[in-house]
Structure 1
């Protein structure tokens, strides 16, 4: 049984994001095939929460090989979308220091349904735990339409690039 949704996603206007891809790029360093967010439709500081999305095309880097004739978005890429959403929030609101945010781990990941090219993959996240300056744990849920397809926790850690 999936957990209750973190947000009622019907309240957000996905056609008019509050943060565009260009604005995401100001905080997230991922580019080319590793850039996994299309927009963000909700940000809140108290409690800490964020909702974003990735519009999947048939040209995604994983489509050709995962799986030939039946392309399914890899679970690790679904988790990367959640991590990039949490990273954006963490960098924008400076809840962790560091030049970039890295993957520190994941907990309680559950995949519930496949995600395909052509889907809009929506991710909602809320801050679960913050260890000041050391790590941030976000609870996240991924949806296609009104169906929860993944849930879990992502842990971000600050990294120095020098």
Structure 2
């Protein structure tokens, strides 16, 4: 598999860092769709408490992974370089099966509507080609917050 964007290139686009950076690489990216990969490993801090003896990647972190993939897609657009993408809402979230260490999640995020700085996207997380989660995101693009204040 050819990676179109490495983890380091991802870190140059979105502000997330360890332990909350979940994109390992980008598989493909087009004008309105991205497919990215999250390798779920037993070494992740979340598994210390969720759940000992039955490690399960939390649904909220699956949604965060999808949102990060979306942020990469949005922030690679010329008009949004140097800005921030924020979650404005999550609708119709469904979790279909659990995600555990050793799973490779493919994260698909597709923009379906975009007006000004607000958009809507459909997102799907897959493991071994099976849907593990789906959701509809509303996102907002705005100026990056000044971290020096």
Asked if Structure 1 and Structure 2 have the same fold, meaning a TM-score greater than 0.5 normalized by the shorter chain, the answer is yes
TM-superposed CA distance for 1:32, in Å, is: 0.8
Partner SS state of residue 86, structure 2: strand
> 1:128 and 1:61 mapped to 2: Cα distance?
34
Determine which of 45, 52, 59 is the counterpart of 2:43: 59
Q: Choose which of 25, 43, 68 in structure 1 pairs with 2:11.
A: 25
Q: 1:73 aligns with which of 57, 60, 64?
A: 57
| Alignment partner of 1:89 out of 70, 73, 88 | 73
Q: RMSD of the alignment, in Å?
A: 1.5
TM-score by structure 2 length? 0.91
134, 141, 148: which one pairs with 1:151? 134
For the pair 1:38 / 2:38, whether they are aligned, the reply is no
Q: Which runs of 4+ in 1 moved over 4 A?
A: 95-98
Q: Distance in 1 between matches of 2:98 and 2:125?
A: 11
Unmatched segments (≥5 aa) in structure 2: none
CA offsets per residue over residues 23-60 of structure 1, 9 Å max, x none?
11111110011001001111112xx1110010111111
Structure 1 gap ranges (5+) = 1-12
